[in-house]
Amino acid sequence: MPRLSRSAPTKLARGARRKGPSLPGQIVLVLQGGGALGAYQIGVYEALHEAGIEPDWVIGTSIGAINGAIIAGNAPRHRAERLRAFWASVEQRAGDGWPDLVPGLGNVFANLVTMAHGVPTFFTPNPAAWFGQHTPLGIEGAAYYTTEPLRETLAQLVDFGYINGKHVRLTVGAVNVNNGEMRYFDSRDEDICLEHVMASGALPPAFPAVRVDGAPYWDGGIYSNTPIEAVLDDKPRKDSVIFAVQMWNPEGTEPATLWEVAGRRRTSSTRVARRAISRGRSRSTTFATSSASSQSMSPKRCAIRQRSKSSPRGAAARRCMLLGSTPRDSTARIS
């Protein structure tokens, strides 16, 4: 695979950012799974970076684990640059420029191209899957696509030596195929490698399971797509400011399209996180949640609410503006 091009350093990449505010505790960035909507997380990180806020701990599942590894696996001055390099490499432009004679025709063509050919830097078709659903392929081969290209892409963008140097704590979640239990791989407790991140994004049946320590693992979003509960259950407990990016709207009208059905299914795995937040079990926890609509990326406002035993609800402490949805224009500002 050709080496990924890395764009010229931007203002963010040069590390030009103002001094960060004083926040009451460790800074935790929680990144959901959500496929292509993971591009939205670039803007969230850039907003924090511009405000002088860098995470002490990044925790994610699925595409959130991939973005999280890029953040934790690079020095602050390189993080935005590497994130954009990744999303530029997986950007799919098939269907661009098609005359809009039939609404959505370009999207249909793009989807067909992706299904047939994959995304060269992320996944490609697995020919063995063509022999039928009952063909024994083994747990690491029973998938419609192979993610070997992703392995090469992440190897270029993530410095696992930097992660294991414990500059930033990284936690990624994956589900054990044999017992259905969620497991969090944590750089505080063990060395994190490429397999851990790959396992967290191995969503069946599209992508194959990935073995870690001999056991096969699937996408952590199957169990918990918003792994805030792992932060609140952490021992020893610490005062925390948690920035959580909500990629899917958990409420709304009945889904009527395949896209809407997929989005609503994703929200079912966020219930654990929502219940954990409502309990407010940490000594002093500030939650910053943002929502990216699956249909429209119009500006959204979010409030960071400080909660503690003495003030279970609290008041809005800061506000952030989130704009955009694509690798080229996704930005966020904290005012």
Q: Report the pLDDT value the prediction gives residue 117, as an integer from 0 to 100.
A: 77
pLDDT above 50 (res 324) = no
Per-residue confidence band for 311, with pLDDT thresholds at 50, 70 and 90 = very low
CA–CA separation, 62 and 75 (whole Å): 22
158: its two tokens: 């993530």
pLDDT above 90 (res 277) = no
Closest alpha carbon to 269 in 68, 33, 82, 86: 33
Q: If you average pLDDT over residues 199-214, what whole number do you get?
A: 95
Highest mean pLDDT of the ranges 15-24, 224-233, 276-285, 301-310:
224-233
CA–CA separation, 141 and 148 (whole Å): 12
Q: Report the pLDDT value the prediction gives residue 263, as an integer from 0 to 100.
A: 66
Contact between 155 and 121 (Cβ < 8 Å): no
Closest alpha carbon to 248 in 232, 231, 271, 229: 271
Residues in Cβ contact with 150 at an 8 Å cutoff, skipping those fewer than 6 apart? 66, 121, 122, 123, 198, 201
Closest alpha carbon to 203 in 179, 178, 226, 175: 175
Overall pTM > 0.85:
no
Instruction: Please count the CA atoms within 13 angstroms of the CA of 242 that sit on its side-chain side.
Output: 30
pLDDT digits (tens, 9 = 90+) for 163-201: 999 999 999 999 999 999 999 999 999 999 999 999 999
The rounded percent of the chain whose pLDDT value lies above 90 is: 44
- Secondary structure tally for the chain: helices H, strands E: 10, 13
Q: Report the pLDDT value the prediction gives residue 3, as an integer from 0 to 100.
A: 55
